Amino acid sequence: MFANRNGAFRQILPAALALVGTAASFALTAAPVRAASGPFYSATLTRPMEGQQKLVQKGLLWKCEGAQCSAGRDTSRPVIVCARLAQKVGPVARFATPQGELAAEDLARCNEAAAG
């Protein structure tokens, strides 16, 4: 009788561990999605836009009001994202991510796209 209980325990334990592992992995992967859904990039334009505007540049949704624009995260480097925005709206005075602002030389490269 003890052997049957031990055999049942050996069958149930892996299934329970698999269920707990699956639930934990879903919980861990869902948390970053919520955190990444807010604005990631912020930009200050040299020429303010009229009112609130939304624009899409290379699949990235920008929300702008006046001279301030923000967008979610993209897979490209920040200077590339800045250049794409500058192509659409003109020169950018400031461009930042949570890691900090673009350096002056990167901002100059970004604004070359606005001239071209």
Whether 68 and 97 share a structural domain: yes
Whether 45 and 31 share a structural domain: no
Whether 65 and 107 share a structural domain: yes
Nearest to 49 by CA among 68, 22, 72: 68
Could you give the strand order of the β-sheet that contains 100-101, starting from the edge strand earlier in sequence?
52-57, 60-65, 68-71, 41-45, 92-97, 100-101
pLDDT tens string 1-10: 555 666 666 7
pLDDT tens string 79-113: 999 999 999 999 999 999 999 999 999 999 999 98
Full domain range(s) for residue 5: 1-35
Contacting residues for 31 by C-beta, under 8 A, at least 6 apart: none
Whether 26 and 64 share a structural domain: no
Whether 70 and 28 share a structural domain: no
Whether 72 and 109 share a structural domain: yes
When divided into structural domains, the chain yields a total of 2
pLDDT tens string 19-78: 655 655 655 555 444 445 679 999 999 999 999 999 999 999 999 999 999 999 999 999
**CA 94 – CA 102 distance, rounded (Å):** 7
What pLDDT does residue 38 have?
A: 77
What pLDDT does residue 27 have?
A: 56
The angle, 0 to 180 degrees and rounded to 10, between the axes of the packed helices 104-115 and 78-89 is: 40
